[in-house]
Structure 1
Amino acid sequence: MKITLDLSKLLEQGKITAADAERLKALAATETGNLGLNILTGFGVIAASAGAVAVMLTAFDFTAQSAAIIGGCVFGLGLLLLLARGEMVSLLSQTLILIGALTGGAGLLILEDGSLRAAAFVTAVLAVTAVLARSSLMAALAVVSLAGCLGARTGYIHAMYSLSIQEPLVTVVLFSGLAFALYLISQQVRADYERISLAAARMSLVLVNFGFWIGSLWGDRLRLYRYIVYNDPKGGPDFTAHGAVIPPYVFSIGWAVALIAAGVWGVKSGRRWVVNLAAVFGGIHFYTQWFEHLGANAFSVLAGGILLIVIAFALRTLNRKPSPAS
């Protein structure tokens, strides 16, 4: 578990010695450097994998099947190198595993035209990769891929981003349970795997909030339930695009209750990330409902801005307080 300490204040209060402060600063510097390298490596791996697939499909006129096979071979080579010892070989092995998993997964998804079977397989591969390569990035991507199995999508059109959650209720329930399970697992495993479990749990919480967000605007038409009951891809009889079975206000109220509960739990257990997440999505929830019902007028903008400033000051005060031991 990572915590935040104000070394200068602790030193002034006599709770630590100057030697303790210097030792903790040195440890923090090492951790910060490793974090920067991990982030740089993660973005580099994603860029290299995407570029490799693009080059294979265009410049070399390879097929998606070829990309999937080559990615699988690179993944297998990385697994073989895991048996070797040495820091450089270990780094190379983890990099090959990540690139192979992403390249092969992308090729498979293109080959299968984004089918559920392919998405489920890629999710499993990413999850296994996260454990083998001890990669928080892969753990987070595995959770995102699982959401894709439920029809979650993002999109971009010039100057406009979009988010689609096809099953808000299922998304909220599934990823809430997954986040809780991963949190329990993180308390039983070693530090490296704790980090991986918490990364996946955090991404799960983000998706829970996305599910609430979409549900609070359009409700839930329970498409999956209708498909199972009526065995009809269109959703069964009398299905309409705006025919929400669960109305939006249910998600709005449930989201507010969940955010408050998560924030209170985060404060009591010293989980600053959860508190900050609750605060961020609390602001998003407020603004969404405020402008959805009141509209964008001078009064609503003024009142909403003042309330957001109050929330920001409260969050800033909370972040300055020492975290309780957990």
Structure 2
Amino acid sequence: MKITLDLTDLVETGKLTTAEADRLRALAARDTGSLGINILVGFGVVAVAAGAGALLPSPLTAVALGAVMFVLGFALMSSKASAWELLAQICIVIGALAFCGGIAMLDGGSLRVMLAIAVILAGAAVLARSGLLIAASVLVIGACLGSSSDYRHAMYSLTVEEPTLTIVVFALIALACYLASLRLTSKYERLALIAARTAVLMINFGFLVGSLWGDRLLRLRSLISSDPSILHDYTARSEMISPLAFSIGWAVALIAAGVWAVKVNRRWIVNIVAVFAALHFYTQWFEKLGATPITVLLAGLLLLAFAFGLWTFNRRAVAA
């Protein structure tokens, strides 16, 4: 579990000695450097895997090369030589991504292969202790439910075809991973928390899309009735859950998560709640009232009032 401390304030108020603060600062510097390296490695690995996947002549080549890279990385990691640890993690990550990309192409991106990929990535993440792979494994589950993202010139898009299923499935994943993190060692606690946080993001995306479009439960109804034609029924009569229900549910969920996060000192959740609460507020505000100078002014004043209320609450909590 990671927490945030103001070392300067703690030293000035006599709660820490200068020597203790210097020791904590040195430990933080090491973690900060490690974070920077991991970010660079993450971007580099994704770029290499994507480029290699585009250049390789066939999916079978990607599968074979991915398997070789993974085995090489695992062998280097098994040697327990610290000098090879970073290279071993890179090989495992690239190998896992290339292997999974290859088998996805071979099976046409079917549901069964996507579920298999989620399991493979999770296993590789544990072996390599890779936050990138564990996050990818959670996102693949989203793809199994029809979620996707896209980029075109100067435009990003997000698709969540099943908001209700997305919320329920990822709520269960987030809860399971959080409970697991309480019982794991620090090395694997980090992976469990990354998985839980990725699931929390997907929950909020599900609420966001649902609050705008509602949910027709097409995939679930199609599976229950064994009628594939339901998947294309986007008429008004097919709506099962209204956007208003998602809007209210999202607000309640954000409030509950924020209160819980403050009580247990989960700063990341507090920040996420603040970000998505603002997104939710602005989305519903401007969807209902439109963007005019008056609505923008009132929205800003209301958010400042909310911020002041949160600041007052935090001060009282700290004092208590």
Query: Where on the TM-score scale, by shorter chain, does this alignment land: which range?
Result: over 0.9
Q: TM-score, normalised by structure 1?
A: 0.92
Residues 115/264 of structure 1: CA separation in 2 closer, same or farther (3 Å cut):
same
How far 1:108 moved relative to its partner? 2.2
| 1:175 maps to 2:173 | no
Q: In structure 2, what is the equivalent of residue 15 of structure 1?
A: 15
Per mean C-alpha deviation after superposition, the further-off stretch among 150-159 and 74-83 is 74-83
Give 2:146's match in structure 1, choosing from 151, 160, 168: 151
Residues 319/37 of structure 1: CA separation in 2 closer, same or farther (3 Å cut):
farther
Q: In structure 2, what is the equivalent of residue 45 of structure 1?
A: 45
How far 1:278 moved relative to its partner? 0.6
Q: In structure 1, what is the equivalent of residue 200 of structure 2?
A: 205
Per mean C-alpha deviation after superposition, the further-off stretch among 98-107 and 240-249 is 240-249
Q: TM-score, normalised by structure 2?
A: 0.93
Q: Write the mapping of 1:42-121 to structure 2, written as runs, cut at 5 A.
A: 42-56=42-56, 62-121=57-116
Q: Which runs of 5+ in 2 are unaligned?
A: none
Q: In structure 2, what is the equivalent of residue 255 of structure 1?
A: 250
Q: In structure 2, what is the equivalent of residue 304 of structure 1?
A: 299
Amino acid in structure 1 at the alignment position of 2:7: L
Q: What secondary structure does 1:234 align onto?
A: helix
Residues 136/322 of structure 1: CA separation in 2 closer, same or farther (3 Å cut):
farther
Two-structure CA RMSD over aligned residues (Å): 2.1
How far 1:157 moved relative to its partner? 2.2
1 CA distance for matches of 2:94 and 2:174? 26
| 1:222 maps to 2:217 | yes
Residues 319/113 of structure 1: CA separation in 2 closer, same or farther (3 Å cut):
farther
Q: What secondary structure does 2:37 align onto?
A: helix
Identity %: 50
8 Å Cα contact 1:180-1:201 kept in structure 2: yes
Residues 261/226 of structure 1: CA separation in 2 closer, same or farther (3 Å cut):
same
How far 1:156 moved relative to its partner? 1.8
Q: What secondary structure does 1:114 align onto?
A: coil
2 CA distance for matches of 1:285 and 1:136? 28
Instruction: State how many pairs are aligned.
Output: 318
Residues 313/29 of structure 1: CA separation in 2 closer, same or farther (3 Å cut):
farther
8 Å Cα contact 1:218-1:244 kept in structure 2: no
| 1:161 maps to 2:142 | no
| 1:187 maps to 2:182 | yes
Amino acid in structure 1 at the alignment position of 2:146: G
Amino acid in structure 1 at the alignment position of 2:47: A
Residues 90/225 of structure 1: CA separation in 2 closer, same or farther (3 Å cut):
same
Per-residue CA shift, 1:220-250, capped at 9, x if unaligned?
Answer: 11112211222122217x9334431111111
How far 1:323 moved relative to its partner? 7.5
How far 1:82 moved relative to its partner? 2.6
2 CA distance for matches of 1:115 and 1:179? 25
Per-residue CA shift, 1:94-114, capped at 9, x if unaligned?
Answer: 111100011111222233332
Q: What secondary structure does 2:151 align onto?
A: strand
Residues 6/294 of structure 1: CA separation in 2 closer, same or farther (3 Å cut):
same
1 CA distance for matches of 2:192 and 2:311? 27
2 CA distance for matches of 1:217 and 1:191? 39
2 CA distance for matches of 1:225 and 1:309? 41
2 CA distance for matches of 1:68 and 1:114? 14
1 CA distance for matches of 2:315 and 2:54? 46
Q: What secondary structure does 1:154 align onto?
A: strand
Q: In structure 1, what is the equivalent of residue 270 of structure 2?
A: 275
Q: What secondary structure does 2:4 align onto?
A: coil
Amino acid in structure 1 at the alignment position of 2:114: A
Q: What secondary structure does 1:155 align onto?
A: strand
| 1:240 maps to 2:234 | yes
Q: What secondary structure does 1:77 align onto?
A: helix
How far 1:319 moved relative to its partner? 7.8
Amino acid in structure 1 at the alignment position of 2:186: A
8 Å Cα contact 1:272-1:319 kept in structure 2: no
How far 1:294 moved relative to its partner? 1.0
Q: In structure 2, what is the equivalent of residue 3 of structure 1?
A: 3
Q: What secondary structure does 1:166 align onto?
A: coil
Per-residue CA shift, 1:145-171, capped at 9, x if unaligned?
Answer: 110111101112222211111111111
8 Å Cα contact 1:279-1:315 kept in structure 2: no
